[in-house]
A and B are shown apart, each in its own frame.
Chain A
Amino acid sequence: MIEIFHHLVYGLQIATTPTNLFYAFIGCLVGTLIGVLPGIGPAGGIALLIPLTFGKEPASAIILLAGIYYGAMYGGSTTSILLNVPGEAASVVTTLDGYQMAQKGRAGAALSIAALGSFIAGTIGLVLLMLLAPPLARAALKFGPAESFALMFFGLSTVTSLAGKSLRKGMVATTLGLMLSTVGSDLPTGIIRFTFGIANLMEGIDVVVLAIGLFAVSEVLTSTEEMAAGEFVVEKLSRIWLSLKEFMQSLGAIIRGSFLGFFIGVLPGAAHVTASFLSYTLEKKMASDPDNFGKGDIRGVAAPESANNAAACGALIPLLTLGLPASAVTAVLYSALLITGIRPSPFLFDKHPDVTWGLIGSMYIGNVMLLILNLPLVALWVKVLRTPARWLFPIVMVISFVGVYSVNASSLDLLMATGLGILGYIMRKLDYPLAPVILGFVLGVLMEQSLRQTLMISGGSLEIFWKSPIAMILFLLSAIFVVLPRFLARRKGMHLA
């Protein structure tokens, strides 16, 4: 314990040198800007800015990039809350209650709880990172393809069961997301699937295209209809700041979201997306008033935002302790470390303590910086909502289209985003939930891969799942989450009758 404390002090000494403080600040600032602009996302943002690290000390380079990482994670929530435009897949769940809060004039409170929740989660995540990194890295190694498949199955089942009013419509949405994930070239065999001869679809549909189409475009279409029908109402902004009561109400959700997010973040795959969705469903499940979720409940913002940030800390564990990048963002960080002459390996903590502990120290500093940077910005962001809707929506489209275009510089992606927007508009009208489409899409490729890997290992036998206690527990939990609420509701209905 004392040793960890010494290491932390060492890390803080490195992180608080004027140069590194400056890099952490620039990283947070640029990261927040990237996060606010839809489409680029943390992984893309870091990749774009890797050239900035050329010629810098390894510790400074990684501190700069990590600042961009957590800045972008936080910034992504801003447009989700204000405009129902998720910058990336993990922010989708924040739109559910965040945007509803904004529509009720409580955008300031939603943005504040996102900032505070991210700060608390980041701090909890870092403490856990320091204390639990080695044992967790070993535990994560026990997660083979069978366990990964079971975890993703669990994530999809819980989200599907709680996403909307109807289980069947939730299942349609999830299956649609999974179907969209199969478009493109099948990685193991190279077979082209569902591209209809369109060469640009060989690499599949990008999640940015799907998220902006389904959420941003459909939101603008829905609002256009309301404006034309004279039903569009701009709620007056009530109190900007968060009340103590609201903070206390969210605290439990923040703490639970932080722990859940951290542990899921350690696991491979789209962990931060799963973490944000699962923490939301957990809160809804635990709430005595679950009907308030989706209508602007502050816990529905606090939980996924905290989980998202804590998952970012968790995701660093496989990278720093095993030298394995477990997510897109850590893969980019891995490349950045290689460029600076450092090869991530299980010996990184011993060989390069300045980098690892400097990074951990800088994350503490970065968390504080993000809070200082973002809380005053809340009042500024909220003013965006005062822009007349007849200008706001076209401008949102213009910026969103840059995000889509930046993926492949292709007009086809823009056409697809528009088409998906029309689909999202119709789905909203018919009460089909949109969020499970994104989760299904993000997890689809990984689920199919892990299922195929599992069956390759077992020679095609499903017994491998029964033999894994972790997988069995997760399957059992999935069944409980889906079946139990309906069974209880039916019994309650029978009693009432």
Chain B
Amino acid sequence: MKTERTGAIVVLLLGIGYLWKAFAMEDINIGDPLGPKAFPIFLGAIMTVLGFSLLIKPEAASTEKLFGRATFSVAALAGMLFIYSIAIGAIGYPVSTFFFLLLASRLLGEKISPAGIAIALFFSLGVFLLFTRVLDIHLPLWGMIRR
């Protein structure tokens, strides 16, 4: 029930925050009766009402706990994904992907071995070549290193 209420508070704060930003927005409505503010204000109001409603009368508690003994692994992978997101632009797709594959598979239980290194190398280069050479999609080779 506590988790449900926490969720409801987040929904409520989101609604209020969005509503506040919507009201603060500049308004121009020449020939447009609604203008750019009305739709967001309406959405913010709905979200706020829903947040209140869920806070006052929560739904039956979900079975899962928000944090458990495996939360560390989830946080570690999320952290890796954040770093990988930045690394693609900074050091290029193949290198960052190689390290991401190696470390993420390690986190999920794979031991670092020559075979694992070979798999990470194969996929980082293979995916890069498939997209850049065959499908003509731009991916940075070296990122900012060679700029």
On whether the beta carbons of A391 and B110 are closer than 8 Å, the reply is: yes
A49 to chain B, nearest CB (A): 9
Does A244 lie at the interface of the complex (its beta carbon under 8 Å from any beta carbon of B)? no
With a cutoff of 8 Å between Cβ atoms, the chain B residues found around residue A56 in the complex are: none
Does A468 lie at the interface of the complex (its beta carbon under 8 Å from any beta carbon of B)? no
On whether the beta carbons of A398 and B77 are closer than 8 Å, the reply is: no
- Contact of A421 with B43 at beta-carbon distance under 8 Å, contacts A188-B32, A393-B104 already known: no
Which B residues lie at the A interface, using CB under 8 A? 3-4, 7, 11, 14, 18, 21, 25-29, 31-36, 39-40, 43-44, 46-47, 50-51, 53-54, 59, 62, 64-66, 68-74, 77-78, 81-82, 84-86, 88-89, 93, 97, 100-101, 104-105, 107-110, 119, 123-124, 127, 131, 135-140
With a cutoff of 8 Å between Cβ atoms, the chain A residues found around residue B11 in the complex are: 172
Which residue in chain A gives the minimum CB-CB distance to B101?
A: A394
Which A residues lie at the B interface, using CB under 8 A? 34, 37, 40, 48, 165-166, 168-169, 171-172, 175-176, 178-179, 182, 186, 188-189, 191, 193-194, 217, 220-221, 224-229, 388-391, 393-395, 397-399, 401-402, 405-406, 409-411, 414-415, 417-418, 421-422, 425-426, 429-432, 448, 451-452, 455-456, 459-460
With a cutoff of 8 Å between Cβ atoms, the chain B residues found around residue A418 in the complex are: 78, 81-82, 85
Which residue in chain B gives the minimum CB-CB distance to A221?
A: B74
Chief secondary structure at chain B's binding surface:
helix
How many A-B pairs have beta carbons closer than 8 Å: the answer is 185
Give the distance in Å from the alpha carbon of A391 to the alpha carbon of B113 in the complex: 13
Listed by A's residue number, 11 A-B pairs whose Cβ atoms lie within 8 Å are: A169-B54, A175-B46, A186-B36, A188-B32, A188-B36, A193-B36, A225-B73, A227-B70, A406-B131, A415-B85, A429-B66
Chief secondary structure at chain A's binding surface:
helix
Q: Most chain-A CB neighbours within 10 Å: which of B36, B65, B107? A: B36
Give the distance in Å from the alpha carbon of A421 to the alpha carbon of B75 in the complex: 12
On whether the beta carbons of B108 and A178 are closer than 8 Å, the reply is: no
Give the distance in Å from the alpha carbon of A421 to the alpha carbon of B43 in the complex: 23
Q: Most chain-A CB neighbours within 10 Å: which of B71, B108, B109? A: B108
With a cutoff of 8 Å between Cβ atoms, the chain A residues found around residue B7 in the complex are: 430, 432
On whether the beta carbons of A390 and B40 are closer than 8 Å, the reply is: no
Q: Most chain-B CB neighbours within 10 Å: which of A37, A225, A406, A459? A: A225
Which residue in chain B gives the minimum CB-CB distance to A453?
A: B32
With a cutoff of 8 Å between Cβ atoms, the chain B residues found around residue A191 in the complex are: 25-28, 36
Give the distance in Å from the alpha carbon of A221 to the alpha carbon of B51 in the complex: 26
A272 to chain B, nearest CB (A): 23
On whether the beta carbons of A411 and B109 are closer than 8 Å, the reply is: no
On whether the beta carbons of B21 and A430 are closer than 8 Å, the reply is: no
Give the distance in Å from the alpha carbon of A166 to the alpha carbon of B81 in the complex: 32
On whether the beta carbons of B47 and A175 are closer than 8 Å, the reply is: yes
On whether the beta carbons of A179 and B50 are closer than 8 Å, the reply is: no
With a cutoff of 8 Å between Cβ atoms, the chain A residues found around residue B66 in the complex are: 426, 429-430
- Contact of A225 with B119 at beta-carbon distance under 8 Å, contacts A171-B50, A452-B34 already known: no
